[in-house]
Amino acid sequence: MDEKSVQQQTFTPRPLKRRWHRVGKFLLFLFPFLVAFYLGLWVLIESKVYRLRHLLADLKALQPGVSSFDDAARIGKKYGADKPTKEAPCTREKCSLAMSITWCNPQWIPTNYIDNRFLNRLGIHFWTAEGWIEVNKNRVTSLGASIAVEKPYPQHLWHEATWEMHQQIPPVNPSDEKEFRKNFDPKYDRSPEFLVNWTGSHIADREEWLYARTSGRATDEQRHAAEDFNLKCLTRWGACWSVCDILPGAARYYNQGLSTMDLFFPHPRCD
């Protein structure tokens, strides 16, 4: 074997080395696109959270029994409320306005087939939010909002927290609705104008549901507990996996005053 052949064999790259070299070049080429995609998605989600924050503020500004149909209609127009239909018309006599905000509409994004554990670590959570207003005889009678966040893969179950404000909370029969019974016990209930319910029964794709209701006569402290959603949970790095994370004030009230052995609340850290 001559000297030239030896040199060619010495400096010819091995196939495996060439393959890794190509992979490295591909990853180096792909990295800027991944960073750009993440930043674009982050901006999109932040814009949705910003819009949700303003929707919640506008809803809180309404007063059942005082605010008018025009006040409700302005909010509905601003946030793209569902259009009325023949079956559900919207008039000054009676109107229901529903608004939704999300960045991951299940009709567009198959969230049930996506492993979201890694995405959660990057501050990307699958969530949906809704707001609604009920009008009767030209006056707002009730309003509310809900936020649902998907639990990490593989369960694909959602946690939902809901707040409603009524001119007067509809009657609740403690014998039929045992989850509310301590709201009627003076030992625990400081005001009948604030009710909190929690259920861990799986309903469709919901693993748990927290439901807070206030009336126009609720105290400021009670209203804040029921209304103040933790929107930071929707974009923070890591867990946003329970109703305690979504609506902490109402969850804390339930845990401290309403949770019992037969209505066990699985989030002791809410206190």
The pLDDT of residue 118 is above 90: no
| Residue 148 one-letter amino acid | A
The pLDDT of residue 152 is above 80: no
Give the containing element (helix H, strand E) for 76.
helix 69-78
User: Percentage of the chain with pLDDT > 70?
Assistant: 75
Compute the residue count for the chain: 271
Residue for token digits 């259009």? 83
The pLDDT of residue 147 is above 50: yes
Angle, CA of 162, 198 and 57, to the nearest 5°? 20
**Alpha carbons 70 and 83: distance in angstroms, whole number:** 16
Q: Using CB atoms within 10 Å of the CB of residue 76, give its burial: 0 to 12 exposed, 13 to 18 middle, 19+ buried.
A: buried
Question: What is the reported pLDDT for 23?
Answer: 66
User: Percentage of the chain with pLDDT > 90?
Assistant: 38
Least confident of 12-21, 50-59, 94-103: 12-21
Q: Where are the beta strands (DSSP E) in the chain?
A: 94-102, 127-136, 139-150, 158-166, 194-199, 206-215
Residue of 217 and 128 predicted with greater confidence: 128
- Residue 110 tokens, joined: 């198959």
Handedness of CA 63, 65, 71, 75 (dihedral sign): positive
- Residue 236 tokens, joined: 């923070």
Name the nearest CA neighbour of 195 among 214, 217, 210: 214
Question: What is the reported pLDDT for 138?
Answer: 96
Whole-model pTM: value is 0.81
Question: What is the reported pLDDT for 195?
Answer: 84
The pLDDT of residue 188 is above 80: no
57-110, pLDDT tens digit by residue?
999 999 999 999 999 999 999 999 988 888 888 999 999 999 999 998 766 667
Residue for token digits 């959603």? 229
Residue of 190 and 98 predicted with greater confidence: 98
Residue of 191 and 211 predicted with greater confidence: 211
Mean pLDDT of 191-195: 72
